[in-house]
Amino acid sequence: MVDKLKLYGFNNLTKALSFNIYDVCYAKTAREQRDYIAYIDSQYNSERLTKILTDLTDMIGAKVLNIAKQDYEPQGASVAILIAEGSMTPAGRTQLAHLDKSHVTVHTYPEYHPETCLATFRVDIDVATCGEITPLSTLDYLISSFDSDIITMDYRVRGFTRDVNGKKLFLDHTITSIQDYIAQETLNRYDTVDINVYDSNIFHTKMMIKEIDLQNYLFKTDVYELPPKVRLEIMNNLRREMIEIFSGRNIYSN
């Protein structure tokens, strides 16, 4: 916000960002599947996810109150962080704090197609903040932190607050699209669609990577080791998988 709003009491608005990424790869042999699991364990373990979420918390100016994390077998992890705007300040015998405590969570989900040999890994990050802070400024950081083939984002502002004259304020910052908070350089790499419900302060954006470099989707296999026909089949399966995830419905499969 350029001009700080003058409010009557606390800012009671709740801002919720749901950020989901899908990482798709090709893993045909048992060795490649093991390599993929090892990759997932290294890239999406609870330690790294905690680092990403604590960095995000710093970026939005919130204070970490508590962290809970868990790794799973054979892969996957969950992290939950309780946050508050500002720091807790002792005053005499009374512990004072803002009432706008919020949270950041992340969960990971692996999935494997038995016929096309495509493995899809999903990361769900949810950020709920109260008061003046908003998680929208962290979108470029989140996108760059993961191998994001498909991205879906939902942003919603709930509740209302009041200015000093008692007028209700249902939104305290300007937004027409989630894309407004993503760098143009990043947007240029994706096909992007918006579905927004302005009257309800609900904003939805989904993105799908434009260019596919097949080598980036293979594990310990050189793309030129594969016959051209196999390469084309894998590329077609990758693109079809991404289009169906992006569209949210089965298009090519029965």
Catalytic residues, by residue number, are 102, 107, 130
3-state secondary structure the chain: CCCCCCECCCCCCEEEEEEEEEEEEECCCHHHHHHHHHHHHHHCCHHHHHHHHHHHHHHCCEEEEEEEEEECCCCCEEEEEEEEECCCEEECCEEECCCCEEEEEEEEEEEECCCCCEEEEEEEEEEEEECCCCHHHHHHHHHHHCCCCEEEEEEEEECCEEECCCCEECCCCCCCCHHHHCCHHHHCCEEEEEEEEHHHCEEEEEEEECCCCHHHHECCCCHHHCCHHHHHHHHHHHHHHHHHHHHCCCCCCC
